[in-house]
Amino acid sequence: MEIPKLFQDVIEKNADGCWRAKNLINGKWLYPESEGEFSVLSPVDGSIVARLPKAALREVASAIASADMARPQVREIAAIDRIALFSRVRKLLDENLEFFKYLLLWEAGKPEHEALGEIEATKERLRMTLQEAKKISGEYLPGDWAHDTIGKIAIVMHEPVGIVAAITSFNYPLYIPSAKIVPALLAGNTVVVKPASAVPLTLLCFVRLIEEAGFPKGSVNVVTGSAQVGDAMVSDPRVHLVSFTGSTEVGQHLAKTAGLKKLHLELGGKGVAIVLDDCDIELAAKKCVEGSLKNAGQRCDAISSILVVEKVADELVRQMQTEIAQWTSGDPREKKTKVGPLISEAAAERVLGLIEDARKKGAKLLAGGKRKGAYVEPTLLDAIPVDARIASEETFGPVVSVIRVRDEEEALAIASRPQYGLDSCVFTNNYYRMWHLAKSLEVGGVTINDLPRHGVGYFPFGGIRNSGIGREGIGYSIEEMTQHKTIIFNLEPAGLGKKHIGHK
């Protein structure tokens, strides 16, 4: 595909036909070559999609300095103007939909319906920014409810935190960065962002839309490269908030590196579906397969283990076997494909390792189980023993994993073994059992009779335990990106405050 004119500052074509994408620092698109470069390989066919620079520490420092300089200007943009700017970003995204679909296909391996779903969710989120923006208000507190504040009033303001360092994962290359950059700017912050090295182009082009819409130079800066880039961003004392989406291991490392900064961490998960004997089995089978295979299983909120009570296990597995056959896998360019490749051959090899380990420990392979390059067949594993790695490690691949349990108490015990606590779901038609399980599961979110899905983020989401800190969602993300300041007015000198009348 030809690079549309709007993105020719971001990506250029080399003499050899290969794309070269740049970094954005202080309003300039640059290709710093000091630390060398890296290639983005397409999971579709292993071809090189583009080459990008590995930013050096001094370039990261310049990006942060630029975000620092832009702070007063961004903070002072009137809320109605911010809304207008984001409406323009939305329009630009719509106008360039084909190009974004192309990027999501080639760098992330997304079939058309997945790519469109992600773009639509991002557009919808931009539409809802109006609602988000109104959350940036505050509180008026009369002081006469306490002895020591009588005669005073206070206003609690929600202010921008300052500079947001955003580091994002590979699995939703458009939606996840936008879910950080949009609320950050809406709340009056500036941003330095590092995309996942497997999928940097989508993010760079999204930032180009923000620039084109009219946000001041330095509002958003993008640096690409290795873990060193992320570490330099997070440890810089000028950064106020670290907003990270990625694995638990890297999140833990960043929490140590950041020091005393506000942290918003969206980390790994091991979502379970608990399927009880009174549920609608047809619904459970359909949703469990979708929850396991959507986005080739590369979702933090994926159903990673299905804990089904013995009484209905055979029937659930039988129906899931039929359902899984509808999930055609293969080349994402083909219309019929529902499951495309994983992000890389290495990721596919890891998933194969989990499948093999489960088989060796006694699980039954009922479908799939093979890999070709980055492609893993939709796989169904039944009767997985709890000591198999796949029973406690995040799968992040297209595997429907069944663990058979006696009852809901055993399901709860198994669900709480991994140290994750992101999403889970329960299939039952008994509301006492729903309530008991929803209350007992130690997770950030429980969905009843559906797969967990974050959608546009209208409902808040986020993890506890090793799955993270903070909540994303319309309004909730804004809250994460602001801090409270209390301004106290002493009205006593002018005799305007309320007075004691004394007590009998």
Nearest to 163 by CA among 238, 215, 214: 238
Region of 42-50, 61-69, 246-254, 473-481 interacting with ligand NAD (CB under 6 A) = 246-254
Give catalytic status of residue 37 as yes or no.
Answer: no
In terms of CB distance, is 344 or 428 closer to ligand NAD? Answer: 344
Q: CB 233 → ligand NAD: shortest distance, Å?
A: 8
Out of 66, 96, 189, 245, the residue judged to bind ligand NAD by CB under 6 A? 245
Give the containing element (helix H, strand E) for 469: strand 468-469
Out of 32, 53, 378, 468, the residue judged to bind ligand NAD by CB under 6 A? 468
Residues 86-105 binding ligand NAD (CB under 6 A) are: none
Q: From residue 40, give the alpha-carbon distance in Å to each of 20, 21, 103, 203.
A: 10, 10, 11, 13
Exposed/middle/buried for residue 146 (C-beta within 10 Å: 0-12, 13-18, 19+): exposed
Q: Determine the Cα angle at 60 with ends 202 and 469, to 5°.
A: 70
Out of 253, 350, 359, 436, the residue judged to bind ligand NAD by CB under 6 A? 253
Measured CA to CA, the distance from residue 90 to residue 63 in angstroms comes to: 25
The one catalytic residue in 107, 114, 266, 323 is: 266
Measured CA to CA, the distance from residue 486 to residue 268 in angstroms comes to: 35
Residue 50 binds ligand NAD (CB under 6 A): no
User: What is the CA 463 to chain-centroid distance, rounded?
Assistant: 11
Nearest to 60 by CA among 10, 95, 27, 23: 23
Q: CB 245 → ligand NAD: shortest distance, Å?
A: 5
Residue 250 binds ligand NAD (CB under 6 A): yes
1's tokens? 């595909």
Asked if residues 63 and 86 have their Cβ atoms less than 8 Å apart, the reply is no
Asked if residues 172 and 199 have their Cβ atoms less than 8 Å apart, the reply is no
Q: CB 326 → ligand NAD: shortest distance, Å?
A: 25
Q: What amino acid is encoded at 137 in this protein?
A: S
Q: What amino acid is encoded at 488 in this protein?
A: I
In terms of CB distance, is 169 or 329 closer to ligand NAD? Answer: 169
In terms of CB distance, is 319 or 395 closer to ligand NAD? Answer: 395
Out of 231, 315, 345, 356, the residue judged to bind ligand NAD by CB under 6 A? 231
Residue 463 binds ligand NAD (CB under 6 A): yes
The one catalytic residue in 205, 300, 408, 425 is: 300
In terms of CB distance, is 253 or 286 closer to ligand NAD? Answer: 253
Q: CB 422 → ligand NAD: shortest distance, Å?
A: 6
3-state helix, strand, coil split of the chain in percent (to 5) is: 40, 25, 35
DSSP type of residue 383: S
Give catalytic status of residue 300 as yes or no.
Answer: yes
Residue 496's contacts (CB-CB under 8 Å, 6 or more residues apart) are: none
Asked if residues 166 and 191 have their Cβ atoms less than 8 Å apart, the reply is yes
Q: CB 344 → ligand NAD: shortest distance, Å?
A: 10
Residue 132 binds ligand NAD (CB under 6 A): no
Nearest residue to ligand NAD, scored by beta-carbon proximity: 230
Residues 255-274 binding ligand NAD (CB under 6 A) are: 266-269
In terms of CB distance, is 194 or 262 closer to ligand NAD? Answer: 194
User: What is the CA 423 to chain-centroid distance, rounded?
Assistant: 13
In terms of CB distance, is 147 or 256 closer to ligand NAD? Answer: 256
Q: CB 374 → ligand NAD: shortest distance, Å?
A: 14
In terms of CB distance, is 189 or 304 closer to ligand NAD? Answer: 304
Residue 424 binds ligand NAD (CB under 6 A): no
Residues 171-210 binding ligand NAD (CB under 6 A) are: 171, 194, 196-197
Asked if residues 251 and 244 have their Cβ atoms less than 8 Å apart, the reply is yes
Out of 96, 169, 178, 189, the residue judged to bind ligand NAD by CB under 6 A? 169
Q: Determine the Cα angle at 214 with ends 212 and 217, to 5°.
A: 95
HSE value, Cβ hemisphere, 13 Å, CA-based, for 259? 10
Give the containing element (helix H, strand E) for 75: helix 57-75
Residues 357-396 binding ligand NAD (CB under 6 A) are: 394, 396
Residues that contact ligand NAD, how many (by CB under 6 A) = 27
Q: CB 29 → ligand NAD: shortest distance, Å?
A: 20
In terms of CB distance, is 19 or 396 closer to ligand NAD? Answer: 396
Q: CB 444 → ligand NAD: shortest distance, Å?
A: 8
In terms of CB distance, is 250 or 296 closer to ligand NAD? Answer: 250
Nearest to 140 by CA among 129, 156, 124, 126: 156
Measured CA to CA, the distance from residue 371 to residue 407 in angstroms comes to: 34
Sort strands 220-222 and 190-194 into parallel, antiparallel or unpaired.
parallel
Out of 184, 296, 422, 456, the residue judged to bind ligand NAD by CB under 6 A? 422
Q: From residue 365, give the alpha-carbon distance in Å to each of 263, 318, 362, 381, 466.
A: 41, 13, 9, 5, 30
Q: CB 319 → ligand NAD: shortest distance, Å?
A: 27
Q: Show which residues are catalytic.
A: 266, 300
Q: Which residues are near ligand NAD by CB under 6 A? A: 167-171, 194, 196-197, 227, 230-231, 245-247, 250, 253-254, 266-269, 300, 394, 396, 422, 463, 468
